[in-house]
């Protein structure tokens, strides 16, 4: 397809939230093909394996025909070369997000000048939401069902049940 726009939406997605799904749904309307790419080389304390995160992302985006779920390790700009695109998509919730996101965008552009990062402003109802907070709520016995899609909630419940056993 001429002028076909392919973008990568990278992230940890541990777990995917309604905020991620909002960015994916809105991003998928703006580009021809959206690759949601789960970072593999994470040093963060993760709750879900890369495979589990990819499976959850597949389930919650099954209705979006131009969305692909993949994973990557190493530098994002190198992965973008492998996927033959220069366009990155990220969501921004707050001024503090802007600071880290603009730093990442500038670093990526310095490493690979053709890289462009597109930012979507988080919808107001998701502007306070993060995977870290969802994990904390679940760990402390709270109800996170309004913050995550249903398939993610099921897996969170399964994790917290198995942790109690």
List interacting residues with ligand PNS (CB under 6 A): 10-12, 39, 75-76, 104, 107-108
Catalytic residues: 20, 44, 93, 131
Give the residue at shortest CB distance from ligand PNS.
11
- Nearest distance in Å: CB 11, ligand PNS: 3
Which of residues 107 and 133 has its CB atom nearest to ligand PNS in the complex? 107
Helix (H) or strand (E) run with residue 35 in it = strand 33-39
Token pair 């997000």 is found at 97
Collapsing DSSP to helix, strand or coil, 69 comes out as: strand
Distance between CA 83 and CA 72 in Å, rounded?
10
Which of residues 15 and 143 has its CB atom nearest to ligand PNS in the complex? 15
- Nearest distance in Å: CB 21, ligand PNS: 14
Other beta carbons within 10 angstroms of residue 96's beta carbon come to 9
**What does DSSP assign to residue 66?**
T
Which of residues 54 and 76 has its CB atom nearest to ligand PNS in the complex? 76
- Nearest distance in Å: CB 85, ligand PNS: 14
Q: Are 38 and 73 in contact (CB under 8 A)?
A: no
């Amino acid at each position: 397809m001429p002028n076909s726009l392919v973008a990568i939406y990278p992230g940890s997605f541990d777990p995917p939230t309604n905020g991620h799904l909002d960015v994916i749904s809105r991003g998928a309307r703006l580009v021809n093909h959206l690759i949601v790419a789960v970072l593999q080389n994470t040093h963060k304390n993760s709750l879900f394996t890369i495979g589990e995160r990819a499976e959850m992302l597949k389930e919650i985006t099954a209705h979006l025909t131009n969305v692909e779920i993949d994973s990557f390790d190493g530098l994002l700009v190198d992965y973008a070369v492998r996927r033959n695109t220069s366009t990155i998509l990220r969501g921004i919730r707050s001024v503090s997000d802007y600071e880290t996101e603009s730093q990442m965008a500038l670093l990526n552009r310095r490493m690979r000048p053709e890289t462009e990062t597109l930012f979507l402003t988080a919808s107001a109802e998701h502007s306070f939401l993060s995977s870290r907070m969802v994990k904390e709520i679940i760990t402390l016995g709270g109800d996170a069902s309004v913050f995550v899609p249903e398939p993610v909630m099921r897996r969170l419940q399964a994790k917290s049940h198995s942790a109690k056993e």
